[in-house]
């Protein structure tokens, strides 16, 4: 034990005092290991130290090399995985990752900025919520509907009851347009509406197609009497929605109309079938009056309802969007006109959506009225919404009730779909998500 201990002390001391490797090199001798040669004890000690040290060195070197290898490998891996991801990303962008699927429909947050709910009933709102839609409930001064102040009462109640799901757009009455205090009363009504949380004002086709001045002349939207009203809307940072004129089909005989939705509507509403009323302003008069109003009000934030009554031609619509940067359009009840044009020129419609992706707002124009069955309206609406989603997101062949022939889906990239369903509504109706407390 002592000897061992002693040896160990010696060895340790010697090892401590001398750099063994230096000694070996200096001596110029290489001591064979496992040679069977008898070395003096000190030499034996040095020999075994050499072996241990060599082993340690080998082990350390191996460990070092292994670590280096692992490090290099990980570097290579990182590089490889980054470039792999990049390559995969590019590939994915070109394939499914860039587009929504049918299954994404309820998952993507959306707006529908043109519906009419005139009764205090939650069925339709719940359907919209389950399909991930927030709604803009639009008041409208139509003779078949309740008076606008009654519509507004319901709209305010619905906003209070479902602040997460619905906003409302007020409207103006032109019943007493020829009275001296019409402007004053209209401004007061709008002020109340804005205080109650209205985020937009809708003007309707009765201006241009029904309203007459004291001389019996049709009053169009560019009439100077509307200027203070529009200025007031602009001053309050509220959006003006204009349903002005009708689809061009209204000026054609029923059998020449393009989509079946218009054929049915104008057959059922001959009072608006302008082909039958030659004394009324023409289609061009309607569009020109709207354009002239926009020329006067370059800063009003304007949303042309129903594709701004330019539904029949993406080229004509493009011209107006180019001319009026403060104009966007909602698609309410006119998506079939895009589909109709896609039958003969899919690329033109597709490219129009890409170019004007910041100016197109999804909307559908469903309504829940006193005589409606809310559950039935909701069921039909859900089906429509799914069809529209398919048209915008897929490239599949489609057939829809309002269009006679087949056409292909537009397969719009995700970012365009996000704009037409969500971002454009937020941009053109900046108060749409705000709720009056």
- What is the length of the chain? 437
The residue from 131, 222, 311, 365 that contacts Zn ion (CB under 5 A) is: 365
* In the complex, minimum distance from the CB of residue 107 to Zn ion, in angstroms, rounded to a whole number: 28
Q: Which is nearer to Zn ion, 269 or 323 (CB)?
A: 269
Site residues for Zn ion, 134-153, by CB under 5 A, read: none
Closest residue to Zn ion, based on beta-carbon distance: 365
Pick 49 or 402: Cβ nearer Zn ion? 402
Output 47 or 365, the one with its CB closest to Zn ion: 365
Map the chain to HEC letters. Answer: CHHHHHHHHHHHHHHHHCCHHHHHHHHCCCCCCCCCCCCCHHHHHHHHHHHHHHHHHHHHHHHHHHHHHHHHHHHHHHHHHHHHHHHHHHHHHHCHHHCCCHHHCCCCCEEEEEEEECCCCCHHHHHHHHCCEEEEEECCCCCCCCCHHHHHHHHHHHHHHCCCCEEEEEECCCCCCCCCCHHHHHHHHHHHHHHCCCCEEEECCHHHHCCECCCCCECCCCCHHHHHHHHHHHHCCCEEEECCCCCHHHHCCHHHCCCHHHHHHHHHCHHHCHHHCCCCCCHHHHHHHHHHHHHHCCCCCEEEHHHHCCCCCHHHHHHHHHHCCCEEEECCCCHHHHHHHHHHHHHHHHHHHHHCCCCEECCCCCEECCCCCHHHHHHHHHHHHHHHHHHHHCCCEECCCCCCCCEECCCCCHHHHHHHHHHHHHHHCCCCCCCCC
Determine if 330 is a binding residue for Zn ion (CB under 5 A).
no
Within 384-403, the residues that bind Zn ion by CB under 5 A are none
First to last CA, the chain: 92
Nearest Cα residue to 345 out of 408, 275, 390, 436: 408
Residue 138 or 274: the one with the smaller Cβ distance to Zn ion is 138
Q: How far is the CB of 241 from Zn ion (least distance, A)?
A: 9
Q: Which is nearer to Zn ion, 47 or 366 (CB)?
A: 366
In angstroms, what is the minimal distance from the CB of 142 to Zn ion? 9
Number of residues engaging Zn ion in binding (CB under 5 A): 1
- Cα 145 to its chain centre, rounded Å, is 32
Angle, CA 334 vertex, CA 363 and CA 373 arms, to 5°:
65
Shortest Å distance, C-beta 169 to Zn ion? 10
Which of the stretches 97-105, 147-155, 247-255, 361-369 binds Zn ion when contact is defined by CB under 5 A? Answer: 361-369
Give the shortest CB-141-to-Zn ion separation in angstroms.
11
Q: Among residues 222 and 365, whose Cβ is nearest to Zn ion?
A: 365
Give whichever of 291 and 365 is closer to Zn ion, judged by the CB atom. 365
Our CB check for Zn ion shows the closer of 136 and 417 to be 136
Smaller CB separation from Zn ion, 115 or 233: 115
Residue 206 CB, nearest approach to Zn ion (Å):
13
Q: Which is nearer to Zn ion, 166 or 410 (CB)?
A: 166
- Of the candidate spans 2-10, 81-89, 363-371, 374-382, the one that interacts with Zn ion by CB under 5 A turns out to be 363-371
Residue with tokens 């029949």: 312
| 398 DSSP β-pair partners | 407
Whether residue 135 contacts residue 116, with contact meaning beta carbons closer than 8 Å, is answered with: no
Q: Which stretch binds Zn ion (CB under 5 A): 166-174, 175-183, 227-235, 362-370?
A: 362-370
Shortest distance in whole angstroms from residue 212 CB to Zn ion: 23
x/- map, 15-34, Zn ion, by CB under 5 A: --------------------
Least distance between Zn ion and beta carbon 89 (Å): 42
CB of 245 to Zn ion, least distance (A): 14
Closer of 303 and 412 to Zn ion (Cβ): 303
Q: Which stretch binds Zn ion (CB under 5 A): 176-184, 205-213, 348-356, 365-373?
A: 365-373
Q: Using an 8 Å Cβ cutoff, are 251 and 283 in contact?
A: yes
Stretch of residues binding Zn ion (CB under 5 A), selected from 85-93, 189-197, 288-296, 358-366:
358-366
Smallest distance, Zn ion to C-beta of residue 136, A: 11
Q: How far is the CB of 271 from Zn ion (least distance, A)?
A: 16
Instruction: Rounding to the nearest 10 degrees, give the CA dihedral for residues 273, 278, 279, 283.
Output: 70
The smaller minimum CB distance to Zn ion, of residues 365 and 408, is found at: 365
Question: Of 119-127, 244-252, 364-372, 422-430, which segment contacts Zn ion by CB under 5 A?
Answer: 364-372
CB of 166 to Zn ion, least distance (A): 15
Question: Which residues here bind Zn ion, judged by CB under 5 A?
Answer: 365
């Amino acid at each position: 034990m002592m000897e061992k201990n002693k040896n160990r002390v010696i060895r340790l001391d010697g090892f401590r005092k001398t750099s063994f490797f230096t000694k070996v090199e200096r001596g110029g001798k290489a001591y064979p290991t496992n040679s069977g040669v008898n070395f003096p004890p000190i030499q034996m000690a040095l020999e075994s130290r050499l072996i241990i040290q060599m082993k340690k060195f080998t082990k350390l070197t191996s460990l070092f090399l292994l670590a280096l290898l692992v490090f290099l490998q990980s570097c290579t891996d990182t590089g490889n995985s980054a470039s792999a991801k990049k390559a995969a990303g590019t590939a994915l962008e070109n394939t499914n990752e860039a587009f929504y699927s049918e299954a994404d429909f309820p998952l993507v947050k959306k707006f529908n900025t043109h519906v009419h709910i005139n009764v205090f009933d939650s069925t339709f709102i719940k359907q919209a919520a389950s399909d991930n839609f927030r709604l803009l409930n639009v008041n409208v001064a139509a003779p078949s509907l309740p008076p606008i102040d009654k519509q507004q009462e319901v709209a305010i109640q619905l906003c209070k009851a479902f602040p997460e799901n619905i906003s409302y757009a007020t409207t103006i009455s032109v019943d007493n347009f020829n009275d001296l205090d019409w402007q004053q009363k209209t401004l007061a009504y709008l002020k109340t509406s804005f205080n109650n949380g209205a985020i937009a004002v809708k003007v309707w086709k009765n201006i241009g197609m029904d309203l007459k001045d004291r001389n019996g002349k049709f009053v169009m939207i560019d009439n100077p009497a509307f200027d203070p009203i529009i200025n007031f809307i602009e001053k309050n940072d509220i959006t003006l929605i204009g349903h002005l004129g009708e689809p061009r089909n209204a000026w054609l005989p029923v059998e020449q109309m393009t989509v079946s939705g218009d054929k049915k509507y104008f057959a059922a509403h001959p009072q608006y079938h302008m082909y039958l009323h030659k004394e009324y302003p023409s289609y061009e008069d309607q569009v020109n009056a709207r354009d002239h109003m926009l020329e006067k009000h370059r800063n009003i934030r304007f949303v042309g309802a129903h594709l701004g009554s330019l539904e029949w031609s993406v080229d004509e619509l493009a011209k107006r969007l180019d001319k009026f940067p403060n104009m966007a359009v909602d698609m309410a009840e006119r998506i079939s006109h895009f589909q109709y044009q896609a039958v003969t020129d899919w690329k033109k419609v597709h490219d129009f959506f890409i170019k004007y992706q910041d100016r197109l707002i999804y909307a559908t124009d469903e309504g829940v009225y006193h005589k409606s069955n809310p559950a039935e309206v909701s069921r039909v609406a859900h089906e429509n919404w799914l069809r529209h989603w398919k048209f915008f997101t897929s490239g599949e062949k489609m057939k829809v009730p309002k269009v006679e022939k087949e056409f292909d889906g537009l397969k719009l990239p995700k970012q365009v779909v996000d704009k037409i369903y969500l971002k454009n509504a937020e941009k053109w109706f900046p108060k749409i998500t705000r709720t009056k407390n």
